[in-house]
Amino acid sequence: MNYRPDEQSVIRTSYSQAYRMPSLLDKNSQSIIYDPAGDVLDTIVIPNPNIDPERIKTAEIGYYRAFQSISGHFDLRIFVEDIDNAISSYRVPDTDLDSRLRYSANATSWRNNGAEFQLRLQPLERLWVLLNYSYINTTDFLRDEGPAGHGLVRERKPRSPEHTASLLLNYNFAPRWDFSLAQYYMDDVQWGEGGYRDSYNRTDARLAKEWNLPAGQRLSGALIFQNLLGNKYAEFYPYNEFDQRTYLQLQLEF
């Protein structure tokens, strides 16, 4: 439902219920270790064809404002998300090597309370700035790991980054020349499988140029610097460190 108090503003409210269908891996994953004679030595993972979809219920209120004195807008969203029937590993006793096996089951639920906003300003025709920020507080996290696991587990550590933010500056300093600078931040987090990850900052830069070619063709090139300051970090798994990277990109349109 939308309400417009004036020509530049919109207040909105909504409620939705969505489902995430199990993936092929969720339903059919299987891992078995055999001995040289072909007999089963250890059953690690078995399929679960009866797994149900995950459910996400979301209630939100938002506010949008278009500015008059300067080109730009502000967009705010405050929300509550309830996730249940979430898919995670469920462990049961077995008679094989390690006396247990696991399969994917609808065994996890939690709540996200949060807010996010976007601010875009264009003080000059050639210059614009975009700021994004998100706050998420994850509560009521409950996971059933099964009788061969730890049983019912209530997590206290954040299961999603509490604070994330990005800032993008774009400047057209000459005809067909474009320069952009981006800064990203993600808070520390305890991922379910990836373990604990420290917070990190990342800076990217991009310099681009376009050329018009005969017969309506167009060539564009860009020099891209990712993680410009060289601060190594890992987004999810600890062994996948992201270092400084440089790319040269060419694109021909015809």
What pLDDT shows up at residue 124? Answer: 94
Nearest to 160 by CA among 127, 138, 134: 138
Pairing of strands 100-124, 71-93: antiparallel
Distances in Å between the alpha carbon of 18 and those of 12, 34, 56? 19, 41, 5
Distance CA 232, CA 57 (A): 36
What are the structure tokens assigned to 38, written together? 């072909």
List beta partners, residue 106: 87
What pLDDT shows up at residue 60? Answer: 98
- The C-alpha angle with vertex 208 and arms to 206 and 209, in degrees rounded to 5, equals 170
Query: Residue 99 region, left (φ>0) first, then alpha (ψ -120 to 50), else beta?
Result: left
What pLDDT shows up at residue 199? Answer: 92
Supply the DSSP symbol for 138.
E
Nearest to 63 by CA among 137, 3, 114: 3
Show pLDDT as tens, one digit a residue, over the chain (254 residues): 999 999 999 999 999 999 999 999 999 999 999 989 988 888 889 999 999 999 999 999 999 999 998 999 999 999 999 999 999 988 888 777 777 888 999 999 999 999 999 999 999 999 999 999 999 999 998 989 888 777 788 877 767 899 999 999 999 999 999 999 999 999 998 887 667 888 999 999 999 999 998 888 999 999 999 999 988 888 887 777 888 999 999 999 98
- The C-alpha angle with vertex 86 and arms to 83 and 90, in degrees rounded to 5, equals 145
What are the structure tokens assigned to 200, written together? 């990190």
Amino acid in the structure at residue 102: R
Look at residue 24 and give its three-state secondary structure: helix
What pLDDT shows up at residue 185? Answer: 97
**Residue 90 near residue 69 (C-beta atoms within 8 A):** no
**Residue 220 near residue 245 (C-beta atoms within 8 A):** no
Domains of the chain: 2-19+54-253 (2.40.170.20)
